[in-house]
Structure 1
Amino acid sequence: MIYSLIIVICLVVFIFAGAFFAKKQYEQLILWLRRDATREEKPHLTGRWKEITDYVERLLKQRNQENQHTIDQLNKLLGAIQVSPNGVLLLDKDHKIEWCNDTAAKLFHLDRELDKQQYITNLIRMPEFVDYIESQQYQQPLKLTQGIDEKKLMLQLHPYDEGRLLLLVNDITQIERIEKMRRNFVADVSHEIRTPLAVLNGFIETMQNLPLSEEERSRYLDLMYQQGRRMQSLVSDLLTLARLEDSTPPPMDQWIASDAILDHTKNTVQELSAGHHTITIHADAKALIAGNESELISAVANIAVNAVRYTKEGGCIEISFLLVDGEGVFRVKDTGQGIPAQHIKNLTQRFYRIDKSRSRETGGTGLGLSIVKHVLSRHGGHLDIESVEGKGSIFSLLFPSQRIKNIN
């Protein structure tokens, strides 16, 4: 009997001890989980409790790896958006800024940290933008003109995630400028071609409907030929400009002698002048110039031809080549009518003329100096113009030292 009682007591003590030990291990497990199982050291448990902690630890490591992979992918995505040339802003349901990239911050003059959680309409106060964001009609983009420099912005809102908004913004200033230039260019070309076409049509109609003497017919045909040549020159110059804008950069390993360019220019201007001007050609130095031969010859010849056209009979034209601080300089000096100071900065614009009637009389298309500017720009050079009205002009075509090889 006593032995049975001892056995029962031992069993009860064993059960309570086991229960107490299990409770302690359970409490250690719960405490580990509550504190942060990923950071705290795993408790030293035994039996099934150890199996449970090992299993939980494996699950937590797997979850952390998945979370880290997601975070890495998100950071890569945000990094890509960060370097995007387009501005990106994320707005919450109340139109407060949650995040923006550097491009958007720059375009709207925002501070990415200080302006976070600020109302976008408090930072972009333009009435058209406020109306746009409050209209909730985001199918079409909105164009804005911003700042004293009149920067053109194109922006559009895209709803997502039950009330949030994605704002995309692009700087279209350059696109708008190019489009305006294109429209003006088309208008200028149309205007330039319209005049000779009208003259040709008038002469053709006259010759068809009126009895003309042989002398009158010959004179009309001569005038028609002149207008046809004028249109031909215009189209040729337009094609030259298009080719310059679209072609690859000029080579650095093809060389043309400065003397060859001067000789070609001399032949061109002497033929055009027909002995009506005093033309002087000289070189203070000899050099090789790296680049496109036909473009270089065309640029210098264009300037020299203009000198002939705008210098009265008996005037002097001096064409020279020299080296200045390593740069190669073709210089064309004339005793022509000169250029008013206010016109000099605009001379290289397409179809820009000081005296339109004078230019047309001399056969100019208004594109010559624009072609020269493009050639020089492609070769890393620039055009310098000095002129005194009534006394003449000096045009200098300067080429950088890296394209010049002195052969004196």
Structure 2
Amino acid sequence: MTKRIFRSIFLVALVVLLLSVALLSVVFYNDYAVQYRSELKSEALSMAHAINGGLAEEEYLRSLEQDKISPIRITWIGADGTVRYDNEAAPAQMENHAARTEVADALRYGAGESERYSATLSQKTFYYACRLQDGTVLRLAGTRDSVLGILLRMLRPAVAAVLVAIALAWLLSYRLSKRIVRPLNALDLEHPEQAEAYDELSPLLEKISAQNRQIAAQMDELRRRQTEFTAITEHMNEGLLIVDARTNLLFCNPSARRLLQIENVEKQSVLAVNRSEDFREAVQRALSGEHDLRTLTLDGRIYQLMANPAMEDGRLAGAVLVLLDVTERENREQLRREFTANVSHELRTPLTSISGFAELIRDGIAKPQDVQHFAGNIYTEAQRLIALVGDIIRLSQLDEGSVGSEKTDLRLDGMAASVVSRLQDAAAQHDVTLRTELKPCRVHGIAQIVDELIYNLCDNAIKYNRKGGSVTVSTAEENGQPVLRVADTGIGIPAAEQDRVFERFYRVDKSHSRAIGGTGLGLSIVKHAAAYHHARVALESTLGTGTTVTVTFPRPGEA
């Protein structure tokens, strides 16, 4: 801006200066011409008055030439136009002057004047003629330079003057432009209402102040939204990535950085953070304007990748990618499929037996003495089905939390004693000794569910024991928490299988499990019953030595 103001002022000053010089030159030249003609006319009249006073013309004129009192050219012309005298040329060699304008006017009107320009010499010659009393004409001529001639003659001083004028104009323009711009440079645009500047800038400063207030409000809103966005995205378990139309990564939250191991977001293509084919195809489809949904496996976990195009004013601006951990959902779905398959299998076996025995009885193939035996088998398999359906219903209730009973204060030691009493016959059949180490303690829970939990633990400990083995059931308070512990001296569980024994229908030794019966849902019911009461289940087992299951309940006031 300073340069533009400087150039403008400098050019204006220079043009004004040059025009002023030119105008003054013309004015001075015109004044000089008028004064020169006036002096020439006065000289001519003075000489004519002297001649008319009785002086001999030729002698008087020659005396002037000898005295050299004037650089003026003097010519005496007869009434017929012949030149009688000229102080610069021989009269005989000069042409007749009767046709000259100033001479003709003098002969006719008594006086005449004219001027003629010499392009070769860049000079103007002024002529003034007056008629004498004897009818002859006295003409005086004076030569002066034209404007161009004067300029050419004054070229050096003129150039020097112009250079000085240019330098002066440059200096004044520079200082003036600095002075004009200085208040503008000193403006505090953050607080324009406090600025001391030109009055003409007041409307502009008011607009800037209003815009500053508007921008400040918008920035506050943007910061608020940015804070909200950051707070939301930083605490998201899902990975969030935003890319532009060129696949450049614009944003990713901490979850995405952790999942994809992203260290630097800037100037990085999203295709470089994961080079799997599924990831690339999802990004490319989103950037082509299509929604895409697929699954990825990262660090052994399953993630659902949702890729959506981001549109702005009808054109594709980029894409938004969301990584959702669906491992638990997929595992549940897998468990559901396995559960369905296992239920189908578990139901098919007793139903096949029932159908087979019933068909033998219906067709009369069974002997009369075998009918009672077949009926007993049918009853046994039916009871097995009833127990299986009951266990499935109980698991469903525990999953959904719809047990239908209120929690009450229960004596854990008393319930354990009741279960041990009911299982004494079963223990005797397996040649297993049941022992108890019961110390008084209370839990807050549902009696039926706690009873099933204890019963299933003790029942498993008896079934998977060895002949002559033992099962010890104990209750106590440890660190203020009620604890139930069931320890057996049975076959034990391999270390690789211990994490799966609480899954539905999972059996370590399937052949042994078939032989001893059961639905395969006992420990799964234990796990869900404990979770329903916010209890922890811990299993310790050594193959060939035995297994101990510990259930730690919360304090009664914390349940």
**TM-score range, shorter-chain basis?**
0.7 to 0.9
Correspondence 1:167-206 to 2 at 5 A: 167-169=320-322, 170-206=324-360
Residues 100-179 of structure 1: pairs in structure 2 closer than 5 A = 100-111=252-263, 114-134=264-284, 136=288, 138-147=290-299, 149-161=300-312, 162-169=315-322, 170-179=324-333
Q: Indicate if the aligned counterparts of 1:326 and 1:404 stay in contact, CA closer than 8 A.
A: no
Paired residues, number: 375
- Residue 5 of structure 1 is matched in structure 2 by none
SS of residue in 2 equivalent to 1:379:
coil
Matches within 5 A, 1:26-37: 31=184, 37=189
For each residue in 1:358-399, what CA deviation from the matched residue of structure 2 results, as whole angstroms up to 9, or x when unmatched? 32343311111121222334432223333452x6x3433232
Q: % of aligned pairs identical?
A: 24
> Structure 2 vs 1, CA of residues 165 and 142 (structure 1 numbering), >3 Å: closer, same or farther?
farther
Once the two structures are TM-superposed, the CA of residue 230 in structure 1 deviates from its matched residue by 1.0
Q: 1:124-170 deviations in whole A, cap 9, x for unaligned?
A: 222332244345363332322223x2443423131423332222222
State the match for 1:3 in structure 2: none
CA 1:141–1:316: 2 relative to 1, 3 Å: closer
Change (3 A) 1:371 1:160: same
- Letter of the 1:152 counterpart: Y
CA distance 1:87–1:274, shift in 2 (3 Å)? closer
Distance change (3 Å), C-alpha of 1:305 and 1:133: closer
Q: Distance in 1 between matches of 2:423 and 2:557?
A: 25
SS of 1:198's equivalent in the other structure is helix
Cα distance 1:38–1:249, how it changes in 2: closer, same or farther (>3 A)?
farther
CA drift of 1:343 comes to 4.0
Q: Which letter does structure 2 place at the counterpart of 1:190?
A: S
* Partner SS state of residue 504, structure 2: coil
Listed one character per residue, the Cα deviations across residues 96-146 of structure 1 (whole Å, up to 9, x for unaligned) are 1122222322222223xx322211112222233224434536333232222
8 Å Cα contact 1:376-1:383 kept in structure 2: no
Q: How does 1:305-344 map to 2 (within 5 A)?
A: 305-311=459-465, 315-324=469-478, 326-340=480-494, 342-344=496-498
State how 1:283-294 maps to structure 2 within 5 Å: 283=437, 285-294=439-448
Map of 1:17 onto structure 2: none
Asked whether the equivalents of residues 443 and 555 of structure 2 are also in contact (C-alpha less than 8 Å), the reply is no
Cα distance between partner residues in 1 of 2:244 and 2:492: 64
Structure 1 position 217 matched with structure 2 position 371 = yes
Partner of 2:86: none
> Which residue pairs with 2:449 in the alignment?
295
CA distance in 1 between partners of 2:262 and 2:194 (Å)? 47
Q: Displacement, 1:255?
A: 2.5
Q: Distance in 2 between matches of 1:379 and 1:343?
A: 24
Match 1:379 to one of 521, 534, 553:
534
Kindly indicate whether the alpha-carbon contact (under 8 Å) linking 2:245 and 2:319 is maintained by their aligned counterparts in 1. no
The residue that corresponds to 2:215 in the other structure is 64
Partner of 1:369: 523
User: Of the candidates 213, 225, 229, which is equivalent to residue 78 of structure 1?
Assistant: 229
Q: Distance in 1 between matches of 2:334 and 2:183?
A: 72
Separation in 2, partners of 1:81, 1:322: 47
Change (3 A) 1:76 1:244: same
Conserved 8 A contact 2:493-2:547 = no
Deviation at 1:307, TM superposition (A): 3.1
Cα distance change on mapping 1:215 and 1:62 into 2, 3 Å: same
1:388-399 paired onto structure 2 within 5 Å: 388-389=543-544, 393-399=546-552
Identify if the C-alpha distance between structure 1 residues 72 and 221 changes in structure 2 by more than 3 Å, giving closer, same or farther.
Answer: same
What is the aligned partner in structure 1 of residue 133 from structure 2?
Answer: none
Aligned to 2:514: 360
Residue by residue over 1:40-87, the C-alpha shift from the partner in whole angstroms, topping out at 9 and shown as x without a partner, is 45334687x486257425632552354235424542552334444433
Residues 104 and 340 of structure 1, relative CA distance in 2, 3 Å threshold: closer
Which residue is 2:391 aligned to? Answer: 237
Contact 1:154 1:172 in 2 (8 A): no
Moved more, 209-218 or 114-123: 209-218
Asked whether the 8 Å contact 2:433–2:468 carries over to 1, the reply is no
The Cα of 1:323 is off from its aligned counterpart by 4.5
Q: Kindly provide the amino acid, as one letter, of the partner of residue 185 in structure 1.
A: F
Aligned to 2:555: 402
CA distance in 2 between partners of 1:184 and 1:275 (Å):
33
Q: Report the CA distance between 1:171 and its aligned residue.
A: 2.2
> Residues 133 and 306 (structure 1 numbering): CA distance in 2 closer, same or farther, change over 3 Å?
closer
Q: What is the CA distance between 1:256 and its match in structure 2?
A: 1.6
Task: Name 1:261's counterpart in structure 2.
Answer: 415
Deviates more, 1:192-201 or 1:36-45: 36-45
**Cα distance change, pair 72–229 in 1 and its aligned pair in 2 (3 A):** same
Task: Pick the structure with greater CA Rg.
Answer: 2
Higher relative contact order (CA 8 A, sep 6+): 1
Question: Equivalents in 2 of 1:216, 1:143: separation in Å?
Answer: 58
In structure 2, give the amino acid aligned to 1:67: Q
Task: Give the distance between the partners of 1:166 and 1:254, measured in 2 at CA.
Answer: 55
- Report the counterpart of residue 245 of structure 2 in structure 1: 93
Structure 2 gap segments, 5+ residues each: 1-175
Sort the Cα spacing of 1:258 and 1:145 in 2 relative to 1 into closer, same or farther, 3 A: closer
What's the TM-score once normalised by structure 2's chain length?
0.58
Q: Which moved more, 1:36-45 or 1:303-312?
A: 36-45
Relative to structure 2, which stretch is displaced further, 247-256 or 195-204?
247-256
List per-residue Cα deviations over 1:12-34 (Å, max 9, x = no partner). xxxxxxxxxxx99xx689937x9
Deviation at 1:223, TM superposition (A): 1.2
Q: Residue 519 of structure 2 aligns to a residue in which SS?
A: coil
C-alpha distance 375-309 of structure 1, shift in aligned 2 (>3 A): same
Q: Partner letter of residue 133 of structure 1?
A: V
- Structure 1 residues 249, 395: closer, same or farther in 2, change over 3 A? farther
TM-score by length of 1: 0.77
Partner AA of 2:306 in structure 1 = L
1:286 is matched by which residue type in structure 2?
P
Alpha-carbon offset, residue 265 of structure 1: 1.1
- Which amino acid is 2:355 matched to? N
In the other structure, the counterpart of 2:143 is none
* Partner Cα separation in structure 1 for residue 554 and residue 319 of structure 2: 51
How far is the alpha carbon of 1:269 from its aligned partner?
Answer: 0.5
> Amino acid of the residue matched to residue 75 of structure 1?
Q
